[in-house]
Amino acid sequence: MTAPRWTYARRASQVVCLLGFLWLFVQTEYRGVDDLPYPVGLLFRLDPLAALADALASGPFGWGLLWPALLVLLLTAVFGRFFCGWVCPLGATLDGLGRLLGRGRRAFSPGWRRVKYYLLFALSAAALGGVQLLGLFDPLAIFLRSLALSLYPAYNFGVNRAFDVLYAVDLPVITPAAQSLFPWWRDHLMAFHQPVFALSLFTLLVFLGVVLLEKLEHRFWCKHLCPLGALLGLCARHALLQRTPKTLCADCQKCDALCRSGAVRADGHRRSECLLCMDCTGFCPEERVVFRLRPPQRGAPGIDLERRGVVTALACGALAAPVVRIAPAQERTNPYLIRPPGAVAEAEFLERCVRCGECMKVCIGGALHPAFLEAGPVGLWTPLLVARVGYCEYNCTLCGQVCPTGAIKRLALEPKRRTVIGRAVFDKDRCLPFAKGVECLVCEEHCPTGEKAIVFEEKDVIVDGVTRRLKLPKVVDRLCIGCGICETKCPLEGASAIRVISEGESRRERTGLPAGPYG
């Protein structure tokens, strides 16, 4: 039998692509060079949904970054949804995990497959209105942020613990061997610092939810929900790569039961739904199935969306946009909303960010963390700088390098050092020299601007009736860039006595208009 070789080829492609993405992912880490040669953001340059989000966002379309995604669309128009079956890392993960977990065999009505198109239309309409949520459902973003925020940190934790145990028990041969292996492992296959994120569990639950859909039906996500699948499906509608026989054969009908995407039905082969897994070339008992390039033909079944459904989806999306945008300005309600350096103005940032988590993965100081509701209801998984946990390293430009959509602009070192992401403010009720009358100045010591943005004045302070000469710190607004190292290093337990607020950030649009009825 010659047919299954296509299945093997497809599986090999999935494994190679998945490993390739994982390799890129592990490369997305500072390893002694300031410019990352292979950031995993490359993955998104292939992502037509990211390209769609970019096209719908304000500002010019990023041709230079996103032309590979357009190439994918072009290839899809010729070959169909090869991306879903052969390339997509989430699809490969679902195929692999589905095999491990066991798959459900429930038959869902064919109408379910329309859901993904309606979702795509609703999200596009919302994006056109300035509320971009495509990233929440983008399979590549789901894959990468689950990896970045949950799976990779958990892997690091596990490996570190294993080495810890070996270190602690001190076995004669094994411990020295482990100790000599550890630096190499850490330098090549691990994060240098254990990644720590507040939303790890939540992110994992969402990922598990997508995986557990396999228990309902094989590739449930891809068939019914994935908006990228829908976009590719629209392109693949008249794909030139066509299957023969076009419909179920009268003597067999096996395709009806076995096709994982439900693409082969009595009314024909739906190229919009076919994931090109090529399994049918193998399981056909008569070896009848072949895929060939042919000119487009009339009469092939379409996507058969309901007009009412399409209108409803568009209306929902169009309505969501203004409702979300009437929220009060974030900079007023949350002064601790600090974005990475190079982030564009907040409104455009929310439109451009695809929530892939790459900036958080690569952040050398562990400063960037996914937002839950801190950035408003549509800011979920967007990066926030949480300076008590980590700070923005003065000489580092990595987040702008890995951002696939230009939500964080790529900055050269000099402009980055001058980009203000916020400003430090003292809490004198807690700061040691002010509140307790003892010396400290840890913040001043760490302040990285060449001419320090934290300085001190020597003053006589009366503490418990005794006059002491103390060095009292203060912030020089003109010099502070809000990197947050002062907040990270403040030696107080719990909250820092110096905190970065978003005031004065470079990216803010200052229109001069009053922000509310009272200015």
Partner 1 sequence: MPAVDRRTFVRTALAAAALGSVPVLDLLAVPARAAEAPPLAVRKGSDIAKLVRDTLAALGGMGRFVKPGSVVVVKPNIGWDRTVELAANTHPEVVRTLAELCLEAGAKQVRLFDRTCNDPRRCYTQSGIAAAIDSLRSERVTLEHMDPRAYREVTIAGGKALPTWEFYRPALEADVFINVPVAKHHSISRLTVGMKNLMGVIGGSRGKLHTDIAESLADINSVLPSDLTVVDATRILVANGPQGGRLEDVRRLDTLIASPDIVAADAYAATLFGLKPEEVPSIVAGARRGLGVMDLNRIRLV
Q: What is the H or E stretch that residue 471 is in?
A: strand 466-475
Q: How far apart are CA 87 and CA 59, in angstroms?
A: 30
Q: Does residue 442 touch partner 1 according to CB under 8 A?
A: yes
Give the range of 26-34, 45-53, 197-205, 341-349 binding partner 1 by CB under 8 A.
26-34
Quick one: three-class SS letters along 174-219?
HHHHHHHHHHHHHHHHCCCCCCCCCCHHHHHHHHHHHHHHHHCECC
Query: Measured from the CB atom, is 13 or 449 closer to partner 1?
Result: 449
Under the criterion CB under 8 A, does residue 445 sit at the interface with partner 1? yes
Output the smallest distance, CB 110 to partner 1, in A.
54
Q: Smallest distance, Å, CB 201 to partner 1?
A: 24
DSSP 255: H
Examine residue 393 and tell whether it contacts partner 1 (CB under 8 A).
Answer: yes
By CB under 8 A, what part of segment 75-134 binds partner 1? none
In the complex, the smallest distance separating the C-beta of residue 489 from partner 1, rounded to whole angstroms, is: 6
Q: Is 450 in the site for partner 1 (CB under 8 A)?
A: yes
Nearest 5°: the CA angle 281, 282, 284 is: 75
For residues 285 and 450, which CB has a smaller minimum distance to partner 1 in the complex? Answer: 450
105 forms bridges with which residues in the sheet? Answer: 217
Q: For partner 1, which residue of 148, 343, 364, 392 counts as binding (CB under 8 A)?
A: 364
Of these, 491, 495, 509, 515, which contacts partner 1 (CB under 8 A)? Answer: 491
Q: Which of 251, 414, 429, 451 binds partner 1 (CB under 8 A)?
A: 451
Q: Is 441 in the site for partner 1 (CB under 8 A)?
A: yes
Candidate list 64, 183, 299, 517; residue touching partner 1; CB under 8 A: 183
> What is the amino acid identity at position 251?
D
Q: Is 369 or 446 the residue whose CB approaches partner 1 more closely?
A: 446
Question: In this structure, what is the dihedral angle of CA atoms 152, 157, 160, 166, given to the nearest 10 degrees?
Answer: -130
CA distances 32 to 35, 102, 267, 410, 411, Å, are 9, 43, 59, 19, 19
Single-letter residue type at 287: E
Cα 158 to Cα 156: distance, rounded to the nearest angstrom:
5
Asked whether position 32 contacts partner 1 by CB under 8 A, the answer is yes
Binding marks (x or -) toward partner 1, 307..346, rule CB under 8 A? ----------------------------------------
Q: Which is nearer to partner 1, 65 or 398 (CB)?
A: 398
> Is the N-terminal amide bond of 245 cis, ω within 30° of 0?
yes
Q: How far is the CB of 155 from partner 1 (least distance, A)?
A: 18
Candidate segments 250-258, 299-307, 437-445, 509-517, binder of partner 1 by CB under 8 A: 437-445
Nearer to partner 1, 397 or 502 (CB): 397
d(CA 471, CA 475): 13
Size of site (CB under 8 A) for partner 1 = 34
Q: Which of residues 188-247 bind partner 1 (CB under 8 A)?
A: 192
Stretch that binds partner 1, among 45-53, 144-152, 408-416, 434-442 (CB under 8 A): 434-442
Cα 419 from Cα 397, distance rounded (Å): 11
- Our finding on whether 430 is near partner 1 (CB under 8 A) is no
Nearest to 218, CA basis, from 84, 119, 118, 309:
84
135 vs 351: CA distance, rounded Å = 9
**CB of 134 or CB of 191, closer to partner 1:** 191
Whichever of 155 and 394 has its CB closer to partner 1, that residue is 394
368 binds partner 1 (CB under 8 A): no
- Can residue 456 be called a binding residue for partner 1 (CB under 8 A)? yes
Q: Which of 164, 304, 306, 509 binds partner 1 (CB under 8 A)?
A: 164
What is the enclosing helix (H) or strand (E) of 51? helix 48-56
Let me know: does 368 contact 154? Beta carbons within 8 Å: no
To partner 1, the closest distance from the beta carbon of 21 in angstroms equals 24
Choosing from 10, 224, 260, 446, the residue that interacts with partner 1 (CB under 8 A) is 446
Helical (H) or strand (E) element with 71: helix 63-79
Residue choice 167, 184, 185, 372 for contact with partner 1 (CB under 8 A)? 167
460, β-bridge pairs: 469
283 binds partner 1 (CB under 8 A): no
Q: How far apart are CA 362 and CA 398, in angstroms?
A: 7
Q: Give the residue with the Cβ less far from partner 1, 164 or 304.
A: 164
| Residue 185 found at the interface with partner 1 (CB under 8 A) | no
Q: Residue 91: how many CB atoms within 10 A of its CB? A: 27
Q: How far is the CB of 240 from partner 1 (least distance, A)?
A: 50
Cβ-contact 389, 366 below 8 angstroms = yes
Which contacts qualify for 36-39: CB closer than 8 Å, 24 or more apart? 36/362, 36/398, 36/401, 36/402, 39/358, 39/362, 39/401, 39/402
- Interface ranges with partner 1 (CB under 8 A): 30-32, 164, 167-168, 183, 186, 192, 364-365, 393-396, 432, 438-442, 444-446, 448-452, 456, 471, 489-491
